[in-house]
A and B are shown apart, each in its own frame.
Chain A
Amino acid sequence: MNSPLAENFHSAFATHQGVNDLPWLAAHRQSAFVQFQEAGFPTRRHENWKYTDVSRITKTGFVTADATHNVIQADDLDSLKFNAENSHELVFINGQFSAEHSNTGSLPDSVVLGSLRDALVNTPALLESSLNQCLDSNNHVFAALNTAFFNDGAFIYVPENIVIEDPIVVYFVSTSTEAKLTIAPRNLIVLGKNAQANVIESFHGLKDVVSFTNTITEIETADGAILEHYKVQQENIDSFHIGGTHLKQHRNSRVESHSISLGGAIVRNDIVTELADEGAEIILNGLYMGNGRQHVDNHTLVNHSRPNTRSDENYRGVLDGRAQGVFNGKVIVHKDAQKIEAAQSNANLLLSDHAEIDTKPELEIYADDVKCSHGATIGQLDKNMLFYLRSRGLDEETAKSLLTFAFAGEVISRIKFAPVREQLEFTVGGRLPDAELIKANLNAAKKIEAR
């Protein structure tokens, strides 16, 4: 408990946390902080943190961001936005909502889209009934920490039968090069019966920023609701990111989750879902790419609580240099949850002799009439494919880039929302050597397809 970061949190909580909060929120914060104090930061002795050492984060004396940190140059912001013509945009600078840079566009009156902090003032009853309801902070200490300290985040409430066609894009940008900030965004997405929305969370850090983002998103989808949820993590290589997406899905609701991790020194994503009623379904797609000494850890947990629920998971990783990857995919089929389907696949490409992946599928099945599959692969680039490409005149680097890109493209191509997919194609292509050729080829292929 005596790490510099824990001490900072301790004094921050003692001095100002909870002072201006609504009583019910102050109570959540209080009990979450107690949970955090009791558990402390995890060490590698914890099963869920066996392969990820957070001491580099906790040894750094990050300080909590405040309202003075709400500044960004318009150019800096524009450069990282998706090229989406029609979208509802929320922008958070160092965790602070920026009304100036946000544009929620036109929406039906019954929809709430904006800052969680504003919503606490304007629609407190709605939040009281839904905030902190999908979260098991006993088992997720960083989630408890987020509850104790979150300042703001996106609140998205789509009532019954409302369909929001245009995507909702939420940008989180870390900009402070002076103070090392810890930022705790808290997002809440509530979809009513048969409501539909597409939400993109995009995390960025400007050059030379060292930050620690501890983000939580809670999602509740009522009967028949449909959500496409993207999380794109491209903070810079010196930053730390720990994030959790916690879902509760009701009857016949369908969630498609795409989790893309490209940046960061240490990155950890937890996705925890409860398929709480019959017909609920989740698709989990993931891509993680690491180089240098990057460490990226993805933990997913799917609870099939009721019969006839379905999950389909497909995660891919590309690791180069001395990068380390971790994949832990847990599926629990609860008692009497018959006729469920759960498929899981994790494929990894190691590009160097020093890159590492620890991958672990975990299935706990307490029902007897289920259809479950899982598979994990770790491989290198295929020598025959490499030779084929080289025998056609491509140099070795380009051939490797193309094959790596193709491997990652398996996940990227599943992304339905074109601006995100295209930006990722360029970003991922750009991380590979000789990217210009790949980009040129992408453009050429697009032109050809367009004809």
Chain B
Amino acid sequence: MLSIKNLKASVDGKQILKGLDLEIKAGEVHAIMGPNGSGKSTLANIIAGRNGYTVDSGEIIYEGKDLTEMEPEIRAREGIFLAFQYPVEIPGVNNVYLLKAAMNAIRKHRGEAELDAFEFLALVKEKMKVVNMKEDLLNRAVNEGFSGGENKRNEIIQMALL
């Protein structure tokens, strides 16, 4: 499903990943451990396509497609989801807007029909029950003033929906 071959990557000209190989098959859960500065976050950011992280050589193949040249939003639509350790607060952007915009962007990419407000809401409410999330989080600004637990729940609900 995800296949990383001889990945070398750098940040600000400093090489962080020095030839990483990783095979992950569908259904597997992998945990990557290592001391501070060993490149765990760099790997995650590289896979998600964050600016400022440069792939020097190697490839990241996800479901048969090479991700390395893709924009972050295309990767997201292909199915990559980066759960943030500290999700950024975005004042003024309502959580509902983001969820709906993101979902519909992804559905469009996959050739599926966009959801209307009611279908969307029904789906969101169903998933919210699963992660035991309070409904008022929906109408708050993205991650603004969320507690640690609320942050995690919000990331999980995004993952479940997207």
Residues of B within 8 A of A443 (CB): 117
Interchain CA distance A441-B90 in the complex, whole Å: 16
Residues of A within 8 A of B76 (CB): 390-393
Query: Number of B residues contacting the other chain (C-beta, 8 Å)?
Result: 41
Residues of B within 8 A of A442 (CB): 97
Given contacts A389-B98, A393-B162, A441-B100, contact A449 B139 (CB under 8 A): yes
Residues of A within 8 A of B97 (CB): 402, 438, 441-442, 444-445
Per a CB cutoff under 8 Å, which of B50, B92, B139 touches A387?
Answer: B50
Query: Which range holds the interface residue count of chain A?
Result: 35 or more
Q: List 27 A-B contacts (CB under 8 A).
A: A383-B51, A384-B88, A387-B51, A388-B88, A389-B98, A390-B72, A391-B72, A391-B73, A391-B81, A392-B76, A392-B102, A393-B162, A394-B98, A394-B102, A395-B73, A403-B93, A406-B91, A440-B100, A441-B94, A441-B101, A444-B96, A444-B117, A445-B139, A447-B117, A447-B118, A448-B121, A448-B139
Residues B21-76 near A (CB distance < 8 A): 48-51, 71-73, 75-76
Residues of A within 8 A of B84 (CB): 388
Closest to A446 in B: B117
B120 CB-CB contact with A under 8 Å: yes
* 9 closest A-B pairs by CB: A406-B92, A441-B97, A393-B76, A392-B102, A390-B72, A444-B117, A393-B105, A393-B102, A390-B73
Tally of contacts, chain A with chain B, CB under 8 A: 104
Interchain CA distance A441-B162 in the complex, whole Å: 17
> Chain A's nearest CB lies how many Å from the CB of B1?
19
Closest to A404 in B: B92
Residues of B within 8 A of A383 (CB): 51
- Please state if A444 and B73 are interface contacts (CB–CB under 8 Å): no
- Please state if A390 and B71 are interface contacts (CB–CB under 8 Å): yes
- Please state if B71 and A448 are interface contacts (CB–CB under 8 Å): no
Residues B111-157 near A (CB distance < 8 A): 117-118, 120-121, 138-139, 141-142
Residues of A within 8 A of B138 (CB): 448
- Please state if A410 and B91 are interface contacts (CB–CB under 8 Å): yes
Interchain CA distance A394-B88 in the complex, whole Å: 15
A385 CB-CB contact with B under 8 Å: yes
Residues of A within 8 A of B105 (CB): 393-395, 398
Closest to B143 in A: A388
Interchain CA distance A445-B138 in the complex, whole Å: 10
A409 CB-CB contact with B under 8 Å: yes
Given contacts A383-B51, A441-B100, A444-B120, contact A393 B92 (CB under 8 A): no
B109 CB-CB contact with A under 8 Å: yes
User: Contact string, A98-113, partner B, CB cutoff 8 A, digits 1/0?
Assistant: 0000000000000000
Residues of A within 8 A of B93 (CB): 389, 402-403, 406
Per a CB cutoff under 8 Å, which of A389, A440, A445, A451 touches B90?
Answer: A389
